[in-house]
Amino acid sequence: MDAIPARLTVVTLGARDMATLRAFYRALGWRELPGADDGWSAFQLGGVLLALYPLPALAAEAAPASAPPAGGWAGFTLACNVDARDDVDAAFAAAVAAGATPIGQPADREWGGRSAYVADPEGNRWELAWARTAVFDERGSLVSFG
């Protein structure tokens, strides 16, 4: 076994307003794990856990010598790949209806897929994408990307 397995298991977002962020992800129809509260929350997304943790507490653990970021885009995106090209438009509409801010309308991309961008209530960017090479298992976990 390698010292660090080649896998991603948890993405943690530092939340400025836990109640609002939790409500947004629940409004997408995602099931919050039992035991969640405004001190920690998580959503099982295929083979990855999306965790929410209060930003000051996360900063104390992950960046103790730094001040928590003030807001805005942090320079990364999260992605949710859908099963079909036309599903991008439906996912975009559902995210906006749940309270996401539209960032980039659904568009065909030069790489052969289709995607759109939204921001959650704290500015975290999500790409809603379709790629013909993406293969998922029965749980929705990505098993191959080309």
Residue ranges of domains in the chain, CATH in brackets = 8-63 (3.10.180.10), 73-137 (3.10.180.10)
Q: How far apart are CA 109 and CA 43, in angstroms?
A: 29
Give me the mean pLDDT over the 34-58 stretch: 92
Residue 43, C-beta contacts closer than 8 angstroms, at least 6 positions apart: 25, 30, 31, 32, 33, 49, 50
Consecutive H or E run containing 53: strand 48-54
pLDDT tens string 48-96: 999 999 998 888 877 887 766 676 667 688 999 999 999 999 999 999 9
pTM of the model: 0.82
Q: Average pLDDT of 28-32? A: 96
Q: Classify the phi-psi angles of 47: left when phi > 0, otherwise alpha if psi is within -120 to 50, otherwise beta.
A: alpha
Q: Are 145 and 137 in contact (CB under 8 A)?
A: no
**Residue-level pLDDT at 118:** 94
The mean of the pLDDT values for the chain is 89
